[in-house]
Structure 1
Amino acid sequence: MTTESDGGTVGDDGAAGGGSSAPRTTATMLRAAVTEIRRDPWLLCPFAVAGLLVALVDWLRQRDPISVVTPHWMDQTVSLQYSVFPRGTARTSRSVGALVDLELPSLLGAVALEAVVPLAVGTAGWVTMTRVLDRDSGRASLGRYLAALASLTVTLRLFAPVRFSPDSVPLILLSLVVLSLVLVSLFALPGYLAAGYGVLHALGASAATARGQRLQLFGLVLTFGLAAWGLARVPVAGGFLSTAVVAPVQAVSIAVLVRGADTDGCRRLPSRPRDGVRSIW
């Protein structure tokens, strides 16, 4: 297996609303997100546009003279394509080594092509979550969101997935446990960045929100990761489908979770930064 890596509460009908307790199961969290989208179908639009761009970039990469890599997960039986920041799963990729020794015009064109997708999906995620949160966090919030997304994207590009030998089963299990805990603790991070929190404060708030519901959040990680992988395998349209279908549901789920946790902030979360504080941290 590989990883790429306010609502208030949910009532009996799965709708997000005010209340004193957060959603308790993965299913009710997903129902809350779907209910939010049914109330406001516009929430699907940002990632639909981004999905078209992902599919276009896939098409351009395949026709570009610069070498393209087919992701290894395309050949695997099961792969978890979960991203902390809601985004689609492209069917093609380009290694950093492919950009070495290019002439300047070709290098600039290739870098621009690789940068446009993170910019588009990042903006789509921020717009979607701020709409659910019903707050205007300002351009500084968008900048922090995009910077965090870019940092994660660059890190994943520079470090190839770790491969384990068949004899390292204990190490594999330990790595999966640690990775699962990290992903669950970071699940709400994009939502807090979209809400206007600084990076360090958002990290603390995300970890605090995960307490008491790690199993439910892990269920969401599995759901979104497997769904992104499955849809991305669809020929030609896979990049669009994983972006336009999975990413908006993930983004809305995060925003609904943050909105509900913010409502119960006095019980679980660190205090929100004062309005006058604009530090990136």
Structure 2
Amino acid sequence: MTGEPGSGSGSANRGTGSPSNDASDPIRNSVSSRDDGTDGRTAARRNEPSSPLSAATRIRRDPSLLLPFAVAGVLLAIVDWVRRHDPLPTLSLDDSVGFTISVEFDGYPTGVPETTRSLEALVDLKLPYLAWGIGLEAVALLVVAVAGSITIARALEEGAGVADAETESHSIRRVPAYFGLVVLFSAAGRLLGSLGELGLVLGIPLLVLVFAAMVRLFAAPAFVVTGAGPVAALRRSARVTRGSGWSIAALVLAFGLAAWLLTLVPLPYAGTVLSSALVASVHAVTVAVVRERSDGSVASDG
């Protein structure tokens, strides 16, 4: 493994492995039938800056892109409150000792909850408590899946200059697949978290591998929204991010640090709501931009 998180054979690989993308992408198919690429908005999008700035530009044009994750942030805060008051063991950010800088990045757009529940907390529970614990975690992941699917779909449509009720309908149809991807990421994160302290010898190499994986899989949520299954989305993301490792690594760090900083806001549940509404929204739109540019789409950037 090389030192660069996204080292590979270069940008020539980006458009070579997905000949079925256009055929299986309902969003892009609907866009191509309605947008000839000659209006003023499309011309302006050809000059859009790099991914994070382009995401900010799209959100400024359409502030409603912030709405799904703003709602999700409120719902996640409610889940936090429920975790604090139910009888199952819960880990809280308030329990941390000292000041620790953290990169809060889960592989998919989401806010940072104030509480979490470890796998160990679900062991040896009676069936009603086990069902409750698993159900509450599933609700939290479903909230994130719905918000992510809607935001990415709308960002892709907005990038092509088309946004209508069909976008919402398609994004809702993709929620089950998106939920599957979120479950995969969450399960992997919880499994790694259950390993405990590994020391420097094992901990640092594992951290590097996890970070490299986050870089490679950055675009996976957008591929799910545009028609791929969770596993296929992971493969496509790994392929199209070759040659862009350092820029995407910077995005992962930026989003992770920004989410962590918002958790420091000294108001109950403010970190969860703000990290969802702001960081997760920009993350989702950025994923859509990376998805568009990865296959040389002319629908959004000319």
Q: TM-score, normalised by structure 1?
A: 0.77
Match of 1:81 among 80, 91, 104: 104
Q: 1:153 to 1:49 in 2, by over 3 A?
A: same
Match of 2:45 among 6, 12, 17: 17
Give CA deviations for 1:126-145 in whole Å, capped at 9, x if unaligned. Answer: 11001111256466532211
CA distance in 1, matches of 2:107, 2:44: 22
* Percent of paired sites with the same residue: 40
CA distance in 1, matches of 2:223, 2:106: 16
CA distance in 1, matches of 2:52, 2:146: 22
CA distance in 2, matches of 1:228, 1:108: 30
Q: 1:98 to 1:200 in 2, by over 3 A?
A: closer
CA distance in 1, matches of 2:155, 2:120: 40
Paired letter, 2:265: V
Equivalent residue runs for 1:189-228 within 5 Å: 189-228=220-259
**Contact between 2:150 and 2:171, CA under 8 Å: does it hold in 1?**
no
Q: 1:238 to 1:29 in 2, by over 3 A?
A: same
Aligned residues: 243
Q: Which has the higher contact order (CA 8 A, sep 6+)?
A: 2
Give CA deviations for 1:165-188 in whole Å, capped at 9, x if unaligned. Answer: 25x3xx544334322321111010
Task: Find out whether 1:127 has 2:160 as its counterpart.
Answer: no
1:94 alignment counterpart: 117
1:162 Cα offset (Å): 4.8
Is 141-150 or 222-231 further displaced after alignment? 141-150
Q: 1:249 to 1:73 in 2, by over 3 A?
A: farther
Match of 1:156 among 183, 189, 210: 189
1:11 alignment counterpart: none
Matched position secondary structure for 1:187: coil
Which runs of 5 or more residues in structure 2 are unaligned?
1-27, 29-42, 158-166
1:260 alignment counterpart: 293
2:81 alignment counterpart: 59
**Contact between 2:220 and 2:233, CA under 8 Å: does it hold in 1?**
yes
CA distance in 1, matches of 2:46, 2:294: 11
Paired letter, 2:278: V
CA distance in 1, matches of 2:223, 2:237: 7
CA distance in 2, matches of 1:151, 1:88: 17
Task: Find out whether 1:38 has 2:60 as its counterpart.
Answer: yes
Paired letter, 1:95: S
CA distance in 2, matches of 1:255, 1:128: 9
CA distance in 2, matches of 1:255, 1:55: 26
Q: Alpha carbon RMSD of aligned pairs, Å?
A: 2.7
Matched position secondary structure for 2:113: coil
